[in-house]
Structure 1
C-alpha cells in the first residue's frame, strides 16, 4: 500500500485543483496569518502580578516547529527565521485540511 504523499502547497492541502481560474475572484481577499510561538497557562492571580520585564515561559523550546494559522485555523508547521532585522517563518510541513471551514 502506497503512503499518501504530503501536500506541497496550501492549495493542495485544501484539495483545490492546480487550475485556479475559478478562484480568481477570491485572490484579493486578505487572510490573517499568525505564527504561534507557544502558549502558557497560568492562574489569574499570577497574570495580575505580571509587569514590564516579566518573562512568561512558553511550551515550545528554541528550534521547535511552530504552528502557522490562517484565520485561526492551522495550515502548516514552520520554524522561525531572521530576515535582516525582522522575524519570518519557513514552512516545514503543510497540514492536510479536513472538515469544513467552520470547524
Structure 2
C-alpha cells in the first residue's frame, strides 16, 4: 500500500490483501477496539444564518430562515465540533440521511 494513502475501516479491521505485512493492520484494529464504543457527537450543518435577537424572537411557525448555502451545495459534517467531511442530503425510506462526498484531512474548519 502506498505510504500516502489512508486505510479505510475494513482494511484496518481485516488487514490489506497484498500488503507487505497484513499482521500489522490486524494488530492495529485490535488495538483500536478499546475506542469503538466511545460516543461521539455527529452533526450535519445545512447552512448558517445571522440575525439579531429581536428578529429571532419574531420568528413563528412556518417562518423561512435564509441560509448561506445554495440548493445542491455540499453540507458540512462535524464530529465533536471538528469538520471532518462534506456531503449531500439523501432520503432513505422515510428518513433523511447524509452521504459523504469528501473527507477533510488536516485542521481545516
TM-score greater than 0.5 by the shorter chain: yes
TM range (shorter): 0.7 to 0.9
Counterpart residue number, 2:66: 57
Structure 1 stretches of at least 4 aligned residues deviating more than 3 Å after TM superposition: 5-10
Q: Does 1:27 align with 2:27?
A: no
Larger radius of gyration: 2
Q: CA RMSD in A?
A: 2.4
Q: Give me the TM-score of the superposition, normalised by structure 2.
A: 0.71
Greater RCO, 1 or 2 (C-alpha within 8 Å, sep 6+): 1
Query: Cα distance 1:42–1:6, how it changes in 2: closer, same or farther (>3 A)?
Result: farther
Q: Does 1:45 align with 2:32?
A: no
Q: Does 1:93 align with 2:102?
A: yes
Three-state SS of the structure 2 residue aligned to 1:34 is strand
Q: Give me the TM-score of the superposition, normalised by structure 1.
A: 0.75
User: Do the aligned residues in 2 keep the contact of 1:6 with 1:96 (CA within 8 Å)?
Assistant: no
CA–CA distance in 1 between the matches of 2:92 and 2:70? 20
- 1:64 Cα shift? 0.5
Contiguous gaps of at least 5 residues in structure 1: 11-16
Select the structure that is richer in helix: 2
